[in-house]
A and B are shown apart, each in its own frame.
Chain A
Amino acid sequence: MSELLNFHFDVDGSDFTSAGQASIQIKKSLRRLGISPEIIRRVSIAMYEGEINMVIHASGGVADVNVTEEAITIILADKGPGIKDIEKAMMEGYSTAPDNIRSLGFGAGMGLPNMKRYTDYMDIKSEVGIGTTITMKVML
């Protein structure tokens, strides 16, 4: 499995309005690689949801994207509070986001479900008080 490209981003946790910079950058880079629009849409939405989660819950984190000929892998890691009940968090409509986030149109409890919906593989490793690492893969 030969690696074509790696991208690394620091996701700034202090600025909610600029969240999405990494996802938009990835979208542009994948477009340059000639990847199909539907795959790009799935990857960039899944990544944006992850970015938003890191900003809302974890004061930011890091995002790594690897592109090979077989798949695009997104790894999002933060040192936030961790997810207490992953099964519950995966349910559409379940959210622990604060009201100020909801007033911006987020916090509908669709973030993690969307990440799963748009990727072929998703794994969540989370420890309360330590942080969360989410790995997602979209097959090419």
Chain B
Amino acid sequence: MTVNELSKLDNFTAVNISDGERKINGVYCGDLLSWVMGRAEADDAWITIMSNVNIIAVASLSDVSCIILSENVEIDDETAKIALQKQINILKTSLTTYEASVFLSKVI
């Protein structure tokens, strides 16, 4: 499944899509950034409730295909601006991290 395809499904909304054709090959859930960098794999979708600006650098360096903000967590304008600059895909969902993981395990 691509990031674009996921963003069109119910419960998911695009926050910033710079490379929508990116494939999602797996999922990693976590809010501790170093833990994510240590464990997430390239092309994973990363589900988190962490919304500060550092998530952009973490997503870029870990090479995840997108960030999914669960429980409709919002990012501020500065973070949105940097996501655009660094071309990081961000979606949000009304689902909890658990619900989003269960859902993704069925569709990707």
Contacts and interface: CB of A to CB of B under 8 A. Distances in A.
Interface of A: 16-17, 19-20, 23-24, 27, 37-38, 41, 44-45, 48-49, 52, 104-106, 108-111, 113-114, 117
Given A104-B50, A106-B34, 17 more contacts: A20-B54, A23-B61, A24-B86, A27-B60, A37-B42, A41-B42, A41-B63, A48-B57, A52-B34, A104-B52, A105-B33, A110-B32, A110-B34, A113-B38, A114-B37, A114-B38, A117-B38
A112 to B, nearest CB: 10
A27 B33 CA distance: 18
Contacts, number: 69
Main secondary structure of the interface of A (DSSP, over half): helix
Main secondary structure of the interface of B (DSSP, over half): helix
Interface string B23-43: 000000001111101100010
A37 B63 contact: yes
Interface in B1-58: 31-35, 37-38, 42, 50, 52-55, 57-58
A110 B38 contact: yes
A119 to B, nearest CB: 13
Interface of B: 31-35, 37-38, 42, 50, 52-55, 57-58, 60-63, 78, 86
Contacts of A19: 54, 57
B57 A23 contact: yes
- Determine which residue in A20, A23, A114 has the highest number of CB atoms from chain B within 10 A of its CB, and name it: A20
A129 B55 CA distance: 32
